[in-house]
Amino acid sequence: MLERKQLKDRTKVTFVLPAEAPPGPVSVVGDFNDWQPGIHTLEPRKDGMRAVTVALPGKSVLSFRYLAAGDRWFDEDHADGHDGTNSRLHT
């Protein structure tokens, strides 16, 4: 799930997943962090979910995916689109 907050020149996007599905650590990787795992790792929230918030440039189209333990890549079902292998996000 994606939560968004529009700011003047950027968008804060919160990437949200269930706390235990998939199990183990999960990072969101994409154009905004040079596809480097571990920079944006989802952390537990009080509501039983886990999330990470990233400030992204406004009026952009970015590609991203999730990377779970065991080198398991997966997409965001609620993304703005998909380009074949990646989820797409419009800020």
In contact, 58 and 9? CB cutoff 8 Å: yes
CA angle in degrees (0–180, nearest 5) for 29-33-36: 60
Q: Which residues span the domain enclosing 30?
A: 2-80
pLDDT digits (tens, 9 = 90+) for 45-56: 999 999 999 999
Return the structure tokens found at 13.
């996007």
Nearest to 52 by CA among 11, 12, 10: 12
Arithmetic mean of pLDDT over the chain: 95
> Looking at the 3D structure of the chain, how many domains does it have?
1
Alpha carbon distance 89, 61 (integer Å): 6
**Is 21 part of any domain?**
yes
- CATH of residue 24: 2.60.40.10
pLDDT digits (tens, 9 = 90+) for 29-73: 999 999 999 999 999 999 999 999 999 999 999 999 999 999 999
